[in-house]
Amino acid sequence: GVAVARSAGQRLMLVTRGTRGDAQPLVALGLSLQAAGFAVRIVANTNLVPMMQSFGLDAVGVFADLEKRLREDPALRDAMAKGELLKSAQLVKEQDKHCFPGEFTSLVQAFSAWEPQLLIATSLCTFEVQALAAAREIPCISA
């Protein structure tokens, strides 16, 4: 219909970071947007790409495997199991100090390769995605 005609060819990039539970809502959103005629690419943790591709979505991995971190870091796993969100965030932040430069470079490369007209980002990557959107002067929605 009219909505599909207006959206045809519009490129959207959905960016999520975290575990499968963080990514699954974007899979549903991505499928709905594709059905409406948008070209959709999801940028996520490397381990989540096969799951997203199994639904027929274009997905690129740029963030480290957080589920692997949970398996290998007892302190992080314990904090998450107890619902200690602040402690969990602090532990992830410490690990991210080492990963962030490479991940951000990969995010910029994924953005440049796709040239989206709109970015949609989940909470664990909102700041870097908003900065990228502002630098490129395109809209960004926090999901």
Q: Give 129: exposed, middle or buried? Use CB within 10 Å, 0-12, 13-18, 19+.
A: buried
pLDDT-derived band of residue 120, with 50, 70 and 90 as boundaries? very high
pLDDT band at 143 (very low <50, low <70, confident <90, very high): confident
Indicate the average pLDDT of the chain: 92
Beta strands (DSSP E) in 56-131 are 58-63, 118-121
> Within a 10 A sphere around the Cβ of 112, how many other Cβ atoms?
10
Inform me whether the pLDDT recorded for 109 exceeds 60: yes
pLDDT tens profile 6-50: 777 899 999 999 889 999 999 999 999 999 999 999 999 999 999
Burial class from Cβ neighbours inside 10 Å (0-12, 13-18, 19+) for residue 115 reads exposed
